[in-house]
Amino acid sequence: MTPAARIATAAELLDEILAGTAAEKVLTGWARRSRFAGSKDRAAVRDHVFDALRCMRSFAALGGAMTGRGLVIGMARSAGTDPETIFTGEGHGAAALSDAERSAGHAPESGAEAGDMPDWVWPHLTRALDEDAVTVAEVLRHRAPVYIRVNTSLTSAEDLTRELAAEGILTTPGPLAPTALEVTEGARRLTSTIAFGEGQFEMQDAASQAVCAAVPVQDGQSVLDYCAGGGGKTLALGARAKLHLTAHDVAPERMRDLPSRARRAGIDVHLAETEALAELAPFDVVLCDVPCSGSGAWRRAPEGKWRLTEERLAQLLGIQAQILDEAAALVAPKGVLAYATCSLFEAENTDQIDAFLTRTEGWQLETSRRLTPLEGGDGFFFACLRRI
Ligand SMILES: C[S@@+](CC[C@H](N)C(=O)[O-])C[C@H]1O[C@@H](n2cnc3c(N)ncnc32)[C@H](O)[C@@H]1O
């Protein structure tokens, strides 16, 4: 495919996404229908689509329309490229610009439009970040670095760096956690490496690794990952100490890959149904990596930025409070309740912890930390509460 044909395809796929279909579904459907597209074409189209999703408001402003075509015209203008050079109407490229398109578009207004945020989200960001809101929003408009977590129970960062380099994959030490490596070349091939097959690393954001490193665990403790999902944090905890590790999720199907991931990493994990937890309790440590807005990770999952609503956020706040209450009941005396979100909003972070401490006796806050994308990883919040 020519560069212009890839952009024309991205515009069509963006229209499907704007009509409500999930981006991954749209991209997979297109790849299946388009056998002529090679892996480089698929990667380029995907990158165009995700770039546009990250910057949807500002590109629509610049391009003059919230349509697939408006977005890619805005994308060209934002990059300082004259859209006439892309929209030539030749071959499989997009049709030439109309006079209306030539004159449409305006520079994005400062604030939510230039920051590529929904209007209702902007006060949440400014409350949490003050003047950093503008810089954080700007960072979220760009692709995320690729980080891996070294499985230090099997290898070291130095050895893994050498081993990956031998397979043509280049890494440098990442931020926030000694286990984090940033992949600077060859990221798309990571999961087909020998080192991956041997469990020497997992894909995990650097801030997520820092959160796992902050959970106080020691050899011999019983630890419950209450919202385990795919088990990224379960495995990171299991690599730090010899634990009696239990993983739970209200949607157990989300943990379906965890047994094979744990085997690869050389870590023992017991998967538990909700009904079994009372019998397995008490645990020395319970981690709640709760469902949240995902606002700290919007550069990785930009669709979430536009699909989140105030109603959904209110619903999430209720779920988070309920999880804290349920999980607290499973913690042993003097044990730890760890709470984490990949959100930047105070409502999901410090407000939740303050409200929990107000309504529940017998707990004290030991540590809390907020990470923003300005520190290199996703935005995260972590709080560690101890039963007294
Ligand atoms: C942020 S994700 C977890 C990601 C995972 N910890 C990781 O690092 O890969 C939140 C998870 O919480 C689960 N969840 C939602 N409501 C829950 C509840 N009431 N109890 C337990 N888990 C819940 C969701 O199914 C989802 O898998």
The architecture of the domain spanning 208-387 is: 3-Layer(aba) Sandwich (3.40)
Q: Is the CB of 377 under 6 A from ligand 1?
A: no
Instruction: Write the residue with the smallest CA distance to atom 1 of ligand 1.
Output: 291
pLDDT for the residue numbered 47: 97
Q: What strand order describes the sheet that includes 170-173?
A: 170-173, 180-185, 146-150, 201-203
State pLDDT tens for residues 30-65. Answer: 999 998 999 999 999 999 999 999 999 999 999 999
146-203 belongs to CATH 3.30.70.1170: yes
Q: Is the CB of 228 under 6 A from ligand 1?
A: yes
Is this complex scored with an ipTM above 0.90? yes
pLDDT above 70: percentage of residues in the chain? 100
pLDDT for the residue numbered 61: 98
Tokens standing for 376?
Answer: 């290199």
DSSP string, 201-212: EEE--HHHHHHH
Q: Is the CB of 229 under 6 A from ligand 1?
A: yes
Residue 80 has pLDDT above 80, yes or no: yes
Q: Is the CB of 83 under 6 A from ligand 1?
A: no
DSSP state at residue 167: T
Mean pLDDT across the chain: 97
CA of 133: how far to CAs of 112, 219, 293, 346, 374, in Å? 10, 40, 16, 13, 10
Among positive and negative, which fits the CA dihedral 186, 188, 190, 193?
negative
Report d(CA 93, CA 6) in Å as an integer.
8
249 known member of a binding site: yes
State pLDDT tens for residues 218-260. Answer: 999 999 999 999 999 999 999 999 999 999 999 999 999 999 9
State pLDDT tens for residues 285-319. Answer: 999 999 999 999 999 999 999 999 999 999 999 99
The CA R_g of the chain, rounded to the nearest whole Å, is 23
Report d(CA 125, CA 117) in Å as an integer.
9
- Length, in residues, of the chain: 388
354 known member of a binding site: no
Summarize the confidence of residues 201-212 as an average pLDDT.
98
Report d(CA 57, CA 255) in Å as an integer.
35
Secondary structure class of 380 (helix, strand, coil): strand
Residue 354 has pLDDT above 90, yes or no: yes
Secondary structure class of 110 (helix, strand, coil): coil
With CA atoms as reference, report the closest residue to 31 among 18, 21, 44: 44
Q: Is 384 a catalytic residue?
A: no
Mutation pick for ligand 1 pocket among 250, 341, 343, 352 (CB with most ligand atoms within 8 Å): 250
Q: CB 151: neighbour CB atoms within 10 A?
A: 24
pLDDT for the residue numbered 90: 83
Q: Is 266 exposed, middle or buried (0-12, 13-18, 19+ CB in 10 A)?
A: middle
pLDDT for the residue numbered 239: 95
CA of 338 to the centre of ligand 1 (A): 14
Confidence of residue 91 (pLDDT cuts 50, 70, 90): confident
Q: CB 339: neighbour CB atoms within 10 A?
A: 27
Summarize the confidence of residues 106-134 as an average pLDDT.
97
Phi-psi category of residue 229: left, alpha or beta, with phi > 0 → left and psi -120 to 50 → alpha: left
Q: CB 336: neighbour CB atoms within 10 A?
A: 21
State pLDDT tens for residues 131-177. Answer: 999 999 999 999 999 999 999 999 999 999 999 999 999 999 999 99
CA of 31 to the centre of ligand 1 (A): 30
Q: Is the CB of 227 under 6 A from ligand 1?
A: yes
Confidence of residue 86 (pLDDT cuts 50, 70, 90): confident
Contact between 304 and 378 under an 8 Å Cβ cutoff? The reply is no
Summarize the confidence of residues 97-125 as an average pLDDT.
96
Where are the domains positioned within the chain? 3-108, 146-203, 208-387
pLDDT for the residue numbered 291: 98
With CA atoms as reference, report the closest residue to 284 among 329, 248, 240, 333: 333
Confidence of residue 93 (pLDDT cuts 50, 70, 90): confident
Confidence of residue 94 (pLDDT cuts 50, 70, 90): confident
pLDDT above 90: percentage of residues in the chain? 96
Tokens standing for 312?
Answer: 């959904």
Tell me the backbone φ, ψ of residue 95, rounded to 5 degrees: -60, 150
pLDDT for the residue numbered 157: 97
Question: Helices 56-63 and 39-54 sit at what angle, rounded to 10 degrees?
Answer: 90
